[in-house]
Amino acid sequence: EPEVTQTPSHQVTQMGQEVILRCVPISNHLYFYWYRQILGQKVEFLVSFYNNEISEKSEIFDDQFSVERPDGSNFTLKIRSTKLEDSAMYFCASRTTGADQPQHFGDGTRLSIL
């Protein structure tokens, strides 16, 4: 069964550094998402992306964050000047076209900011 693939599984970065989290969505999916889950908290929406542009973003997704689809298969989340509070699991999701289609999630990247 096709799946969403995320790399790396764990990323350790010094505070203030930039980090890029990578995702390969399911191949025929056109809608892409990033979510995060801080330890002990809910899964929170960050951003949705369709047709090469952001369609919605949460208040968390400020100028520190950006997303890109650099080629036909990858979808990336860049976090600039990381802060301690950026430590979380980051999940990528994708879905196919059509009404009431579920989002399918990758296994996540654990981001640890030191």
Partner 1 sequence: DQQVKQNSPSLSVQEGRISILNCDYTNSMFDYFLWYKKYPAEGPTFLISISSIKDKNEDGRFTVFLNKSAKHLSLHIVPSQPGDSAVYFCAARLSNFGNEKLTFGTGTRLTIIP
* β-sheet bridge partners, residue 44: 36
Nearer to partner 1, 75 or 91 (CB): 91
Give the count of residues interacting with partner 1 (CB under 8 A). Answer: 24
What is residue 85's three-state secondary structure? helix
Binding flag, residue 63, partner 1 (CB under 8 A): no
Among 77, 86, 104, 111, binds partner 1 (CB under 8 A): 104
Among 55, 73, 81, 112, binds partner 1 (CB under 8 A): 55
Nearer to partner 1, 15 or 54 (CB): 54
Q: Which of residues 80-99 bind partner 1 (CB under 8 A)?
A: 91, 95
- Chain mean position to CA 11: 13
Asked whether 89 and 81 are in contact (CB, 8 A), the reply is: no
- Closest distance between partner 1 and the C-beta of residue 72, in Å? 22
Q: Would you say the C-alpha torsion 83, 19, 35, 33 has a positive or negative sign?
A: positive
Cα–Cα distance for residue pair 34/92, rounded to 1 Å: 5
Which of these ranges, 13-21, 41-49, 66-74, 75-83, lies near partner 1 under the rule CB under 8 A?
Answer: 41-49
Cα–Cα distance for residue pair 64/22, rounded to 1 Å: 17
